[in-house]
Amino acid sequence: MFFSDLRLRCLAAWLCRLGLCLLVSCHAAAAPERVVSLNLCTDELLLQLGDHKQIAGLSWLARDANLTWHSAEAMLFPAVRGVAEEIIRLEPDLVLAGEFTTPATVALLERLEIPLLRLPLARSFSEIADQIHQVADALGQGARGREMLADMRLRLDALGDGGGTITAALFQPNGQTATTGSLLHEVMTRAGLHNLAADWPQFAPLPLETLVYREPQLLVLSRHGAHVSLATELLEHPVLRGRLDRIEIPAQAWTCGTINTVRAVEILHGAAREGRPET
Amino acid sequence: MRIAVPPWLLYTLLGSLLVVALYLAVAVGRAPLALLDTLQAAIGGEDNVATLVLTELRLPRALLGLLVGASLGLCGAALQGLLHNPLAEPGIIGVSGCAALGAVLAFYTGMAAAIPLALPAAGVLGAFIAVALVYALAGRQASTLAIILAGVALNAAAGAMTALVLNLAESPFAFLEIIFWQMGSLADRSWAHVGVALPFMLLGWVLILSVRRDLAALSLGEETAASLGVNLSWVRFAVIAGSAAAVGSAVAVSGVIGFVGLVVPHLLRPLVGYDPGRLLPASALAGAVLVLFADVAVRLVPTGVELKLGVLTALIGAPFFLYLIFRLRRELT
Amino acid sequence: MTLVAANINVEFGLQAVLSGVDFAVSRGEVVGLIGPNGAGKSTLLQALAGLHPATLASVSVDGNTLLTMRIRERARTIAFLRQNTRVHWPLAAGQVAALGRYPHGGAGSDDERVQSAMKRVEVLALRDQPMSTLSAGEQMRVHIARALAVEAPYLLADEPVAALDPYHQLECMELLRREAQAGTGVVVVLHDLLLAARFCDWLVLLDHGRIAATGLPHEVLHGDALQAVYGIDVIRQRHDGQEFVLPWRRRTR
């Protein structure tokens, strides 16, 4: 029974892809009931947009409270590590994955003709909007998706145009910073901050000397939990203390590009407007 | 081959090189500083971006480079004097590796965050165990083969356990930081690092320098040295504990920087008449010079992530090591 | 004015190397220590130098045991010369000789005491040459210079002439004699019975860790004990009013 259901759904999906949605109503294909997500970001989207009864499995990262605000909720579902066997045992009718999911696993899923939706890392709010739309549709939760998009638009519009008068720089563990074309850069810009490190090469760490020398008025920090490491020790360097106003953004807000990222913009916007640091 | 260099000339030369190295260490960096102006401003108590970069980033890094380099050079010379072997060097015989293991245990368990001195202390403890083990295994008879094998075993064990600790550490960044611990770096160090390491380093230096004439007498063998009034147990203890203190604390704040203790004493030996005692202070100075110049060099190489210091010293030191083995091979069997 | 050892017992593991040995040397005399290989001569010399912790209380200088003396004081009182001294680094002859000043606080090779010691042994010309380039005989003389540089009242030498040619053998023994005449108490381990006869004031014959004979040279050398201990027959000779013996034939054991 399950098998014929699956076949039917695959057929409908395939026909939709052929552009025959006009002839075959895609909505007639029932919403997926066993969705497995292999990636933290797709986990969050799934938890935000899907019903609990639709979720068959989430990645193990979703249980880490340092990475996501949905960790408590994620505990209700089986944790998956990405091994193909594990996934197949859950009998998914839709798999959500990221662009870096193991190619071998992806290939196997495709061979078994299990519907797979791959989402790259969102690099801008418009991409976030696209992904919300895509996932909502795939889950048959179109209404919820539109609601979320409207909320996002509302909150972002409420912030207005910051004006970019306050200079800031982002400093993450290991000196990672926000560069032009990245989501974090857009977050800062929408919050009304002028990102001093925008010109820095992507993925290259920002040296402390350069950071200090550019004299940002606001230092935006983001940790990943309280665990000790040289990477996080760098954020405590004496040269950063005292002179610079700092604000810390919880990692859960922007590890992934979702509706939660708007919270990061709101926090920064608040700090920029008041011109005072928030702890 | 002996080159007769009067002591005053040698120290003047080394001293001048050190001054140049210190200058470069403070002058070279990402932020373009007008050095003299900034120095004046800093002394005058002014507080701007340039003085901040100078006093909180460049100065501690330069000073730490000097301290670490001096410690490594000094301990290399001291260990070679005690073990009668030109290949004895903190990195090769496993002392640095074990120091790194101690430091990693203290750091990633959060002990060092609670008690800052726990970091260098753990490094010292690791180093001490290593030196004592090497001495016990190969000290008296000082067979090169035994010393090197002991080093190989210790390095393998310490390296594996360090990787294990880092793998099990809670932070997701920990595992990649093995590169820092095993290749060493002075980047982004602060006065706090200088502060915790300094007491142990000074203790180590005092212990080792106090027995420099004894090491010279030890050239004649243990029996003759004892008949000349050398207190063998004290000399052994001073060199072992002193090396552990200086190297252990250096590794705890800058990772393993290898080969300094091999290259520097070897190059200086003909200039000090092969006297193991005279070699000590000269090696300390030259070690500081070497590390400082190398640290300037890593800042000049245009890589995205700054090159690790230990990579540079290994690029120089490893071929040198091979060359030494080749030259000494008849004596090593 | 005497270095005295009373009832020396030294064991290596279960084997007794020295048992109940009494020994004494006064300043101004040369005492020869003879005996077969393995008799314990080197061990006795080491004990006299204070190199065996267990016997420190049994050896005394002018009434003070070595135990009560500090290690540097001991070193200034007794100079010790080993049989084969291996120099671990390519030091120059002058540097090796200068190490003899260690008990006094150290000095360079241009120190006048070091230079005078080197002059007495005729190695001053070799001052700047690395030890490894010198012949065995020259190296030995440098080590003797090192021992002389200590300027200690007692000098213990373990087979100093073993590697020397006849000229330098005689020269070395004459040197030791002169040192004794200048007030040093000299103990020298020898295998050469002729040198023993000519240059020593007193002889001690060791066998298997015990004293087999002790006395004036001609007493010990002409006695039966000597031949028994060494397992040889000797012939007695006389020249210039001095008596001496020469090993002639092995005894079949």
pLDDT tens-digit readout, B300-320:
988 777 889 999 999 999 999
Whole-angstrom Cα distance, residue C40 to residue C17?
6
Contacts of B192 in chain A (CB under 8 A): 238
In the structure, what pLDDT confidence band is assigned to residue B332 with cuts at 50, 70 and 90? low
The residue among C156, C146, C193, C163 whose CA lies nearest residue C61 is: C156
The partner residue sitting opposite B180, judged by closest CB among A207, A210, A230, is A230
The residue among C131, C39, C44 whose CA lies nearest residue C80 is: C44
pLDDT above 50 for B229:
yes
Chain B contact present for C16, CB below 8 A: no
Whole-angstrom Cα distance, residue B19 to residue B40?
18
pLDDT above 50 for A279:
no
Helices and strands: H and E segment counts in chain B: 16, 0
Distance from CA of B51 to the nearest CA of C (A): 48
* Contact yes or no for B228 and C100 at CB 8 A: yes
The partner residue sitting opposite A239, judged by closest CB among B57, B170, B180, is B57
The partner residue sitting opposite B31, judged by closest CB among A203, A213, A232, is A213
pLDDT given for residue B159 in this prediction? 95
Is there a contact between B10 and B285 (Cβ–Cβ < 8 Å)?
A: no
Task: Please give the DSSP secondary-structure letter assigned to residue A70.
Answer: T
Is there a contact between A245 and A217 (Cβ–Cβ < 8 Å)?
A: yes
In the structure, what pLDDT confidence band is assigned to residue A2 with cuts at 50, 70 and 90? very low
pLDDT digit string (tens) for B4-46?
789 999 999 999 999 999 999 999 988 888 888 888 888 888 8
C3's tokens? 């270095």
Window 183-202 of B: residues touching A by CB (8 A cutoff) are 187-188, 190-192
In the structure, what pLDDT confidence band is assigned to residue A211 with cuts at 50, 70 and 90? very high
The residue among B299, B288, B284, B101 whose CA lies nearest residue B188 is: B299
pLDDT given for residue B124 in this prediction? 97
Give the whole-number percent of chain B exceeding pLDDT 70.
97
Window 148-177 of B: residues touching A by CB (8 A cutoff) are 169-174, 177
pLDDT digit string (tens) for C86-120?
899 999 999 999 999 999 988 887 789 999 999 98
* Contact yes or no for B56 and A237 at CB 8 A: yes
Chain B contact present for A234, CB below 8 A: yes
Contacts of C150 in chain B (CB under 8 A): 228
The partner residue sitting opposite C95, judged by closest CB among B213, B224, B275, is B275
Task: Please give the DSSP secondary-structure letter assigned to residue B219.
Answer: G
pLDDT digit string (tens) for B235-287?
999 999 999 999 999 999 999 999 999 999 999 999 999 999 999 999 999 99
For CA atoms B61, B66, B70, B73, the dihedral sign is positive
* Contact yes or no for C75 and B228 at CB 8 A: yes
* Contact yes or no for B227 and C99 at CB 8 A: no
**pLDDT higher for A84 or A27?**
A84
Extents of the domains making up chain A: 31-154, 163-274
The residue among B231, C134, C90 whose CA lies nearest residue C145 is: C134
| Least reliable range by pLDDT among A117-131, A234-248, C177-191 | A234-248
**Matching residue, tokens 């260490």:** B25
pLDDT given for residue A28 in this prediction? 44
**Matching residue, tokens 């916007």:** A269
* Contact yes or no for A174 and B173 at CB 8 A: yes
pLDDT above 90 for A161:
no
Chain A contact present for B306, CB below 8 A: yes
In the structure, what pLDDT confidence band is assigned to residue A23 with cuts at 50, 70 and 90? very low
pLDDT given for residue A1 in this prediction? 42
* Contact yes or no for B217 and C89 at CB 8 A: no
Rounded to an integer, the average pLDDT of C42-58 is 92
pLDDT given for residue B78 in this prediction? 97
- Domain C2-250 bears CATH identifier 3.40.50.360: no
pLDDT given for residue A87 in this prediction? 87
- Domain B7-332 bears CATH identifier 1.10.3470.10: yes
pLDDT above 50 for C227:
yes
Helices and strands: H and E segment counts in chain A: 12, 9
pLDDT given for residue C253 in this prediction? 64
Contacts of C50 in chain B (CB under 8 A): 227
The residue among A257, A270, A238, A279 whose CA lies nearest residue A135 is: A257
pLDDT above 50 for B330:
yes
Contacts of A229 in chain B (CB under 8 A): 108, 169, 171, 173-174, 177
Whole-angstrom Cα distance, residue B216 to residue B226?
12
pLDDT given for residue B38 in this prediction? 84
Distance from CA of B3 to the nearest CA of C (A): 11
Give the whole-number percent of chain C exceeding pLDDT 70.
100
Instruction: For B252-315, give the secondary structure using H, E and C.
Output: HHHCCCCCHHHHHHHHHHHHHCCCHHHHHHHHHHHHHHHHHHHHHHHHHCCCCCCCCHHHHHHH
pLDDT digit string (tens) for A83-101?
888 888 888 999 999 888 7
Average pLDDT, chain C: 91
- Residue B231 vs residues B55, B236, C149: alpha-carbon distances, Å: 45, 9, 20
* Contact yes or no for B274 and C86 at CB 8 A: no
Whole-angstrom Cα distance, residue A160 to residue B162?
51
* Contact yes or no for B172 and A224 at CB 8 A: yes
In the structure, what pLDDT confidence band is assigned to residue A69 with cuts at 50, 70 and 90? very high
A259's tokens? 């509706």
Which burial class, exposed, middle or buried, applies to B132 when counting CB atoms under 10 A from its CB (0-12, 13-18, 19+)?
middle
Beta-sheet strands, E only, within C82-222: 154-158, 185-189, 202-207, 210-215
pLDDT above 90 for A278:
no
Chain B contact present for A176, CB below 8 A: no
Task: Please give the DSSP secondary-structure letter assigned to residue B189.
Answer: -
pLDDT digit string (tens) for A128-141?
999 999 999 999 99
In the structure, what pLDDT confidence band is assigned to residue A24 with cuts at 50, 70 and 90? very low
Contacts of C91 in chain B (CB under 8 A): 219, 273-275
Rounded to an integer, the average pLDDT of B214-220 is 94
Give the whole-number percent of chain A exceeding pLDDT 70.
86
Is there a contact between A97 and A39 (Cβ–Cβ < 8 Å)?
A: yes
Window 70-89 of C: residues touching B by CB (8 A cutoff) are 71-72, 74-76, 78-80, 82, 85-89
* Contact yes or no for B31 and A173 at CB 8 A: no
pLDDT given for residue B189 in this prediction? 93
Rounded to an integer, the average pLDDT of C35-60 is 92
The residue among B76, B83, B95, B82 whose CA lies nearest residue B266 is: B76
Which secondary structure element, helix H or strand E, spans residue B40, and what is its range? Answer: helix B35-43
pLDDT given for residue B1 in this prediction? 60
Whole-angstrom Cα distance, residue C176 to residue C30?
8
Chain B contact present for C130, CB below 8 A: yes
Is there a contact between A218 and A272 (Cβ–Cβ < 8 Å)?
A: yes
ipTM of the complex: 0.91
pLDDT above 50 for A21:
no
Q: Which residue of chain C has the CA closest to B278?
A: C108
Rounded to an integer, the average pLDDT of C218-227 is 88
Rounded to an integer, the average pLDDT of C127-144 is 91
pLDDT digit string (tens) for B105-143?
999 998 998 999 999 999 999 999 999 998 888 766 667
Edge-first strand listing for the sheet containing A193-195 = A193-195, A166-171, A218-221, A245-248
pLDDT given for residue B201 in this prediction? 98
Give the whole-number percent of chain B exceeding pLDDT 90.
74
- Domain A163-274 bears CATH identifier 3.40.50.1980: yes
pLDDT digit string (tens) for C17-42?
999 999 999 999 999 999 998 899 99
pLDDT given for residue A14 in this prediction? 59
Extents of the domains making up chain C: 2-250
Task: Please give the DSSP secondary-structure letter assigned to residue B55.
Answer: I
Whole-angstrom Cα distance, residue A73 to residue A58?
11
Contacts of B273 (CB under 8 A, 6+ apart): B2, B4, C91, C92, C95
Interface test with C, best of B3, B213, B215, B220 (most C CBs within 10 A): B220
Is there a contact between B74 and B283 (Cβ–Cβ < 8 Å)?
A: yes
Give the whole-number percent of chain A exceeding pLDDT 90.
46
Which contacts (CB < 8 Å, 24+ apart) does range B47-55 have?
B47/A243, B49/A212, B49/A213, B49/A215, B50/A213, B52/A212, B52/A239, B52/A243, B53/A209, B53/A212, B53/A213, B53/A239, B53/B29, B54/B26
Rounded to an integer, the average pLDDT of B147-162 is 93
Contacts of B275 in chain C (CB under 8 A): 89, 91, 95
pLDDT above 60 for A26:
no
* Contact yes or no for A228 and B177 at CB 8 A: no
The CATH number of the structural domain formed by A31-154 is 3.40.50.1980
In the structure, what pLDDT confidence band is assigned to residue A11 with cuts at 50, 70 and 90? low
